[in-house]
Structures are given as C-alpha cells and as structure tokens.
Structure 1
Amino acid sequence: MHLAPELGIGRFIKGIVGSGYEAFDISPERYPPELNTRQLDLVTDAEKLPSQHYDIVLHSHVMEHLPCNETAVLYHLHRSLKPGGKHIFCIPIHDGHYESDLGNLSGEERTRRFHQHDHIRRFGRADFQNTIGMIFDLKLFDLERLVGANQLRANAIPEEGWRGVSGHMYYFAEKDDIKLKE
C-alpha cells in the first residue's frame, strides 16, 4: 500500500512487485494511469481497510494534511499490515512542539503555524516521543554510522537529518511495534 504515491518511488516499487503494487490517494486523478492509483479518503475510510492485508504500508508527508485525529488513521494503517509487515513513513518534524487545529484557518494562518498552507498540524521535535512515540516503538537511526558522512553529503542529506528525530528521516515500524493494543 503506497499512499500519495511519489511518481519515481511508485514506478520503482511497481517495477519490483508488479501487480502487487497498490497506490491510493484522495485525488487519484492527479497520478499517471501507470500507477493505477485508487481513491481512498483516510479521514472516512481508514477504519474500512482490511486487517492483515499488506506487506508494506508506505506514506510520506500525508499525516499533516488530514483533518482528523491522525492517531486513528495511523492505527488503522498499521492494523492493515500482515504479520511481519512494515509501516514506513515520513512526517515533517519542526523545532518546538506538536500543534494541530482542525478549524477553518486561512492558508496564511496555516503557513504561519504549520509551515504550509494546506497543513492541519505540525509535529515537534521537542515532544515527538509524546505524540508519534506513544503510537509506535520506533527505532531511531544514525545514518552517519550506517552509510557515512561522505555518502550523505553526496546525496544532499542535511546534517540535521542524519540521526534522531528529523523531518528528513523515514521511520520504520514493524507490525508488533504498535503500542496501541488491548
């Protein structure tokens, strides 16, 4: 399951998995036919996702756009993973604290508060463990140790994204890493 599929990543994954690739977005008409992107509104349809269905759930910069409680959406996306599945995601992380407002704000006010005109929330570095960290037991990476500073610089990865909590980091949660359990 690939949400809001980036064209290059979508083509790459589809080239590997073939017909098993499933792309979804609230506005599928924005994507080329080759990705076969289907309509999915995470606000109204997340709870309808099948349980234990996907090997991978992948999304980048989606949660900050959803006018609802993102915890519920993340829970249902994770529930849709098969045992042994991986939930891979990226969210913008800013200095400071989490903030959300589902109210009718102007684009200018959203940009001021959330750094983009169509964002509903911002995730903060200062309280990351009290937001996303309360949903998943995430392992934080040190990319410098994994691939080296020269490789990171060659690929234009900013130093703030090399380790810990960062908006440049992808987070990986395995099926059993969810903390929201009965």
Structure 2
Amino acid sequence: MLCRLVRYNFLDFEVHVVESACKDSQNTVSIEGFCPDENLDSDRYYAFGLIFKVTQVQRCICAFKLQGELELLNTEYATADDLYKESLTLLYEILDEKIEELERILHCTIVKPPLSGVIGEKGKKKCACCGSVFDEYVPLSPYYKEQAKKNHVSDDFRSEMVNKLQYSCPVCGAADRERAYAICMKKELAKDACLRVLDIAPSMALGNFICRTFPNVEYRTADLFMPGVDYKIDIMHMDIIPDGSIDFFICSHVLEHVSDDMQAMFELRRILSAEGKGILVVPIDLNAEGIDEDPSCSDEGERWRRFYQNDHIRRYSRRGFLNRIHRAGFNVKECDREYFGREVMKKNGLIDTSCVYLVSKNEE
C-alpha cells in the first residue's frame, strides 16, 4: 500500500527493511552500533529484532515528515497533505503492531509519539529541528541518574542547558541543545546561503535539519570514532582540512572528551573562514568555580564523580569556558533566553539558563 502511495526511494527502502529485517531470528541485528550477545535466548534475540523494526518505522515517519517529497499517484487524494496524512496513518499501524509484540515479549510498556503531533495538530511543544507538534518531550534517560547513584556522585552539578524532564523530541530524537542550535542557525544564516558546514560528532536530527533548511550548503561531518562520517579525524589535528575553508561549524559536547581542548579550539579557529561562525558548546556546571580536568584519569568511577560522565576528562565552569574561548582567539556571542525569546524556549523545552556560544574569529 505504501509503495502505491509514495514513490520515494529512501522511504521505500526503509519500509522494505521494516518488513524483512528480522524474519530470520538467527540474524544478528545491530542497533546504533550495539550487537546483542550471541548467547541470548531466542525470545530476547527476537526482541532485539523487533526493536530494530520499531526504530526503522520511527525513522521512516521522521524521514517522511522531514523530506515531504510526495507525488499524487491517485486522484482520490486532493492534496499532497491528504496523501501525507494517509501514509503516516499506515506507518503508524505498522508501528502499533510491532510495539504490541515487543511489549508482550519484554513485559514492558513502550511509549510512542502521538500521531496527532506528527501530522501537525495543535500542541504545546514544537521541535525546532523537525517541526513536529506534540504535548511533551521525552525525559532524559534514567541511565545517568542510576550511574550517579552507583558511583556516589554528588548532586551539586547544575547543568546550564540540560532539561531532564523535556530532553528529546519524540519524533526526530533531537536533544534540547540541538533544538537550540537549530534556532540559532535559522536566526544567523540565510536560507539560500552557499556555505561549507562542518558538523563534528554529528547528530542525525540536526544534520537532517541543516540539509533540509539550507539546501545550498556543503554539509560535511567529522569524528574520530563514529562510522559513516566524511572526515575520520582527531579534532586536535585536522590537517586534512585547509585553513579558512569552513564557513560554519558545530562542535557540541566534544571538548570535554579530548586531552587538549585548547589545541582543539586553535584548530577550529584555523579552519574557520574570516567571516565564518561556529557553535561551540560544552556541558557547563553553573555551580563550578573553575575548570577541573585530568586527561590521565582512566577510572570510570572517578570520572563520574569528578566530571559527571564515564568518558569525560574535564568539567567546565562558565567563566572558565569563556576564558578559554577568548584565549583561542575567538569572539563569542552568548545566545541566551533574551536571544531565543520566552515563547520559543517554551515550545522547545529549553530551561532559563540555556545558552549557545556562537563564536567568530577575532582578527586583532
């Protein structure tokens, strides 16, 4: 039925995957780089397969919403919007079926976004990345609270941006900070701009937003470990990228992972064009007095206690981060609640202290 309604290769491919992914329960299914252990019992193995199916259907819905490339193949559909809603309804029927099956196997409840939010009926929230409207965002995973308890982490960390109760979009998965970046980019960049954009440690939701909103950009991705990026590089040594060749970069929640954050920022300044800009954001503890860092620390428990995550080697204070930005030779524009506006912040689930640091070259 879907193929009859929509002639769109990406969507057709996703639907094909959904229908055929796990017919053979012996196949190992990888979900975002994670493969289930080969010794899992058959029910659990099949459950992983179903998770993969549900994920693909959700991505299918998101892709359909974002791309909007529709063809009216039947006269019964008066408008593209009618076809769009009918096709989403069919996708949701598939999703309902798979979720019910998964809930029976795992004995749990799975929450999916309401169809009314996806097809654009009125709601209290509106994601800046995908444009979907719904009642609430999805809370932050309990994993972080569990790890904090397990590793005896103090509760004095006060995040500048993370909204634990309204963290991610139920449709495209965009985190609160990514929704803030989308707002910034729409305010700072012309829709028809011909720019070279570099996204470091990219997210699918923000990448889709950039390519859809700015069709003339040359969008490139970079990461040292992530598969499928354009540049597999260390941010501290980006020799493959020429001086002044990037017009806009996104470097979000990366610097707290690298051994020398100043060297990384010097590299970002080197590749940025004279009139270029960049989003430079790290997790900031508003209660911190200075920067606590220790690249030699390898104990995961100690990292949780000092840096609030097992793969972080640095905890930033706001003043300390701004000082380092200036030392790296950047000017910085602080995009805060006055920049966003109260209504936009509310619709995107941003907390009052949310701030995006927009940097440019200081040529003095």
Report the TM-score, using the length of structure 1 for normalisation. 0.78
SS at match of 1:42: coil
> Is 1:11 matched up with 2:203?
no
Name 2:334's counterpart in structure 1. Answer: 140
Name 1:172's counterpart in structure 2. Answer: 358
Asked if the contact 1:57–1:78 (Cα under 8 Å) also holds between the matched residues in 2, the reply is no
1:17 Cα shift?
Answer: 4.2
Letter in 2 for 1:9: L
Asked if the contact 2:336–2:356 (Cα under 8 Å) also holds between the matched residues in 1, the reply is no
Letter in 2 for 1:132: I
Letter in 1 for 2:358: F
SS at match of 1:160: coil
1:91 Cα shift?
Answer: 0.8
Identity %: 28
Name 1:86's counterpart in structure 2. Answer: 277
Larger Rg: 2
> Is 1:56 matched up with 2:242?
no
Long gaps (5+) in structure 1: 162-168
Asked if the contact 1:4–1:59 (Cα under 8 Å) also holds between the matched residues in 2, the reply is yes
Q: Determine the C-alpha separation between the residues in 2 that align with 1:150 and 1:12.
A: 21
Q: Determine the C-alpha separation between the residues in 2 that align with 1:170 and 1:146.
A: 10
Letter in 1 for 2:211: K
Give the one of 268, 286, 303 matched to 1:110: 303
Give the one of 19, 22, 31 matched to 2:220: 22
Letter in 1 for 2:334: L
SS at match of 2:331: coil
Letter in 2 for 1:100: E
Which digits, 9 at most, give the CA deviation of each residue in 1:40-90, with x for residues without a partner? 1224x23553101111121110000112x2111111111101221112121
Q: Determine the C-alpha separation between the residues in 2 that align with 1:40 and 1:17.
A: 26
Higher relative contact order (CA 8 A, sep 6+): 1
Q: Determine the C-alpha separation between the residues in 2 that align with 1:147 and 1:121.
A: 28
1:141 Cα shift?
Answer: 3.2
Name 1:70's counterpart in structure 2. Answer: 261
Letter in 1 for 2:323: N
> Is 1:46 matched up with 2:244?
no
SS at match of 2:248: strand
Q: Determine the C-alpha separation between the residues in 2 that align with 1:71 and 1:127.
A: 12
Which digits, 9 at most, give the CA deviation of each residue in 1:67-117, with x for residues without a partner? 2x2111111111101221112121111121211101143111011101110
CA separation of 1:82/1:127 partners in 2, compared to 1, >3 Å: closer, same or farther? closer
Q: Determine the C-alpha separation between the residues in 2 that align with 1:154 and 1:76.
A: 35
Which digits, 9 at most, give the CA deviation of each residue in 1:9-42, with x for residues without a partner? 112223334671110111232x5xxxx5331122
Long gaps (5+) in structure 2: 1-197
RMSD of aligned alpha carbons: 2.2
Q: Which has the higher strand share?
A: 1
Between the two proteins, the alignment pairs up a number of residues equal to 163
CA separation of 1:72/1:17 partners in 2, compared to 1, >3 Å: closer, same or farther? farther
Q: Determine the C-alpha separation between the residues in 2 that align with 1:79 and 1:17.
A: 26
Asked if the contact 2:297–2:303 (Cα under 8 Å) also holds between the matched residues in 1, the reply is no
> Is 1:149 matched up with 2:346?
no
Letter in 2 for 1:141: C
Q: Determine the C-alpha separation between the residues in 1 that align with 2:232 and 2:321.
A: 30
Report the TM-score, using the length of structure 2 for normalisation. 0.41
Q: Determine the C-alpha separation between the residues in 2 that align with 1:148 and 1:106.
A: 42
